[in-house]
Amino acid sequence: MDSLDFRLDHPLRSFALGVELQVGRETLALVGPSGAGKSSILRAIAGLFRPAAGRIELGAETWLDTERRISLPPERRSVGLVFQEYALFPHLTVESNIGFGGRGRVRELLERFGISALARARPADLSGGERQRVALARALARDPAVLLLDEPLSALDAHTKATVRAELGALLRELRLPTILVTHDFEDAAALADRVGVIVDGRILQLGPSQGLLAAPASGFVASFTGANLLPGTARPGPDGLTEIALDSGTTAFSTAPGAGRVGVVVYPWEIALSSTEPVDSALNHVRGAVTSLVPLGNRVRVAVGPLTAEVTTGSAERLGLREGDLVVASFKATATRLVAL
Amino acid sequence: MSRVFPAALVLATTLALGFLLLPILAIFLRIPPGDLLAGMRSEAAIDALLVTVKTSAIANVLILLVGTPAAYAIASRRFRGRPLVITLIELPLVLPPAVAGIGLLAAFGRFGLLGDELTALGLSIPFTQVAVVLAVTFVASPFYLRAAIAAFEAVDPNLPAAARTLGASPARTFFRIALPLAGGGLGAGWALAFARGIGEFGATIMFAGSLQGVTQTLSLAIYEQFDIAFDLALAIGAELVVVSAAILLVVKLLPSWTRSTSDSTTLFAPSRSA
């Protein structure tokens, strides 16, 4: 199987897109805020947008080389692109949508995606999850060498999303095509991709397995994008070889990570414990504050305490009788913190 | 006092409807139905009908065949001077017909801009059926072009893009995706252009004249007959009322026709991307 290599440079409104990536038999997620240039990358690979400069190669085949003035039209690039809102043809049936790119595999794909019963339906009659399956089936009907997914889950409601995400993950593992997935949701990226690239203003800030990004975020932006708390402060050497950080909020935090000067203390919500009184425990960091919001997330509750967000189990939240306005102590160990330069 | 205002509303509505319908009714009621039918069967009326049908048919085929791809090109491309191009297309819409007539003569007449070239080719356009076709096309095509550009612009640009990534050539994308999705808007625009063309008068009489059986359309025949044979003029007028009403009916029925063939395109409305 051929890998996809590309380098793209293009000036956009307020920044310049500049990325260089190699995607093998894997799913690479590009995550970042909207307007970071993620969709432009997919459109450039598909041939729907020609960058000012760049090169796109699939194995030995050149799709784009601005220096050699090569640019294959979209229909000659072996890509399957799933659009954000799916872009199903509203005037064609499910069957005709899937068969648009290639008639041969329609029956097989209808069965593979469990939508045989919908063959004669039109897109307007389908649910969000069904539309996504049709869009995937249509993109795969041409046997593409590269799969591109533009926010494949953003058009779905939270309830449908979990199921569809699991199905999509299984499909991607089965296909093992060079796949680029664009999303603004780090959780989706972590769940679906082998590697995650955080992209901001057209540049990739950090690229690696999602665990790596969580363990060692390269910057404050990557840390907060992956869902971490980021507490700004000033670091100096503290007792016992720890780093002591005078947080801007007034309290002091300790970290086992080295750092000096302006830093951000990175701590993930699931590393934070809550208690109603100051606990006697091994955690060095205690932040007292009022609960400002409680958001249930399935079996967990996301609790905002002053500048911090903690995640505790629903049972723990009930045991503590947490309510908005309650004063609680949030604790986290110095070993659970990372420091990023600000 | 409280009864005056509702009464005024009823009176205004009655006046408006009466004023609009009276002339139309008068065409059918002014002379006995037998005379009306006889007038319709007269040679002058039949000649005028044949000229109108023939020239309108050719003009409308030209408008659709050239206008549709031109509108698609303008709608799907962004280029410098695009707003100017669209404004220039719309200019003939607001031009008085007399200006259109003199303009056509100045371009295609014997002493016009292209006069020498046409003469060299042995062609003389003014006062022929070709002139009628050109006059009708000139005044009617902007109606179609404008509606067709809007209809193609209303197609979600991701849909043709998706077709291309699925291996469709630009031509197949046009015929399978853009054309059916813009169909409702194209039909409505075409009905407007057809109606404008069939009623064309000013430009035609200046550029093509009013020769019975050659360039005399229904509209021109009414004008010629009304001081010679008023009853005949009425009969031809009745024919045009029937044709125009049929067109209006088609326009009114279009939205539902569109809905039955496509799920999301309605008249001039942007299409949803499913």
Nearest to A156 by CA among A123, A127, A187: A127
Nearest to A243 by CA among A212, A227, A264: A264
pLDDT for A159 equals 80
Question: Backbone phi, then psi, for B270, in 5-degree steps?
Answer: -65, 140
Average pLDDT over residues B76-91: 91
- How far B66 CA sits from the closest chain A CA (Å)? 25
In a domain, A335, yes or no: yes
pLDDT surpassing 80 at residue B267: no
pLDDT for B111 equals 84
User: Rounded distance, CA A142 to CA B202, Å?
Assistant: 56
- Coil, strand, or helix at residue A269? helix
Which residues, at least 6 apart from B248, have a Cβ–Cβ distance to it below 8 Å?
Answer: B195
Q: Are B273 and A75 within 8 A, CB to CB?
A: no
Chain A residue whose CA is closest to B273: A87
- Distance set, CA A65 to CA A57, A256, A341, B170 (Å): 8, 48, 38, 22
**Which of A75, A102, A139 lies at the smallest CB-CB distance from B164?**
A75
Range of the domain at A288: 230-341
Q: Are A91 and B272 within 8 A, CB to CB?
A: no
| A241 and A302 in a common domain | yes
User: Rounded distance, CA A88 to CA A121, Å?
Assistant: 12
Q: What is the ipTM of this complex?
A: 0.82
In a domain, A112, yes or no: no
Per-residue pLDDT tens for A265-302?
Answer: 999 999 999 998 888 887 889 988 899 999 888 788 99
* B219 DSSP 8-state letter: H
pLDDT for A154 equals 86
User: Rounded distance, CA A23 to CA B251, Å?
Assistant: 53
Chain A residue whose CA is closest to B156: A87
Structural domain total, chain A: 2
**Which of B156, B169, B264 lies at the smallest CB-CB distance from A124?**
B264
Residue that finishes a domain, picked among A220, A239, A264: A220
Higher-pLDDT residue of A70 and A215 is: A70
User: Rounded distance, CA B222 to CA B235, Å?
Assistant: 9
pLDDT for B254 equals 66
Question: Backbone phi, then psi, for A108, in 5-degree steps?
Answer: -60, -45
| A32 and A152 in a common domain | yes
pLDDT surpassing 80 at residue B261: no
Average pLDDT over residues B213-237: 92
Chain A residue whose CA is closest to B178: A89
Residue that finishes a domain, picked among A220, A248, A282: A220
User: Rounded distance, CA A73 to CA A67, Å?
Assistant: 17
In a domain, A93, yes or no: no
| A170 and A30 in a common domain | yes
| A216 and A70 in a common domain | yes
C-alpha distance across the termini of chain B, in Å: 55
Per-residue pLDDT tens for B173-213?
Answer: 999 999 999 998 998 899 889 989 998 999 999 999 999 99
Beta bridge partners of residue B5, listed in sequence order: none
In a domain, A309, yes or no: yes
User: Rounded distance, CA A99 to CA A80, Å?
Assistant: 13
Residue that finishes a domain, picked among A178, A193, A220: A220
- Distance set, CA A172 to CA A87, A110, A168, A176 (Å): 21, 17, 6, 6
| A277 and A164 in a common domain | no
Q: Where are the domains of chain B?
A: 1-30, 33-261
Chain B residue whose CA is closest to A148: B165
| A272 and A202 in a common domain | no
Q: List CB contacts (< 8 A) between B181 and chain A.
A: 89-91
| A271 and A330 in a common domain | yes
* B108 DSSP 8-state letter: H
| A164 and A284 in a common domain | no
The verdict on B265 touching A (C-beta cutoff 8 Å) is yes
CATH number for the region B33-261 comes to: 1.10.3720.10
In a domain, A66, yes or no: yes
- How far B121 CA sits from the closest chain A CA (Å)? 43
- What CATH number has the domain bearing residue A265? 2.40.50.100
For B2, counting Cβ atoms within 10 Å of its Cβ (0-12 exposed, 13-18 middle, 19+ buried), the class is exposed
- Coil, strand, or helix at residue A150? strand
What's the mean per-residue pLDDT of chain A? 91
Beta strands in B209-266 (DSSP E): none
Contact call for residues B151 and B67 (beta carbons, < 8 A): no
What's the mean per-residue pLDDT of chain B? 88
Contact call for residues A58 and A6 (beta carbons, < 8 A): no
| A177 and A42 in a common domain | yes
Q: List CB contacts (< 8 A) between A48 and chain B.
A: 161, 164-165
Per-residue pLDDT tens for A66-122?
Answer: 999 999 999 999 999 999 999 999 999 999 999 998 888 899 999 999 999 999 999
pTM as predicted: 0.81
* Confidence bin at A236 (pLDDT 50/70/90): very high
| A238 and A190 in a common domain | no
- Coil, strand, or helix at residue A126? coil
| A65 and A150 in a common domain | yes
Q: List CB contacts (< 8 A) between A83 and chain B.
A: 158, 161-162, 273
Per-residue pLDDT tens for B41-70?
Answer: 999 999 999 999 999 999 999 999 999 999
Q: Are A91 and B162 within 8 A, CB to CB?
A: no
User: Rounded distance, CA A269 to CA A302, Å?
Assistant: 8
| A290 and A197 in a common domain | no
Name the residue with tokens 């669209």: B86
Question: Backbone phi, then psi, for B268, in 5-degree steps?
Answer: 60, 0
Q: In what order do the strands lie in the sheet with A338-341?
A: A252-255, A243-247, A229-237, A261-267, A338-341
Chain B residue whose CA is closest to A124: B274
Identify from B164, B165, B179 which residue to disrupt to test chain A contact, counting A C-beta atoms within 10 A and taking the largest count: B165
In a domain, A87, yes or no: no
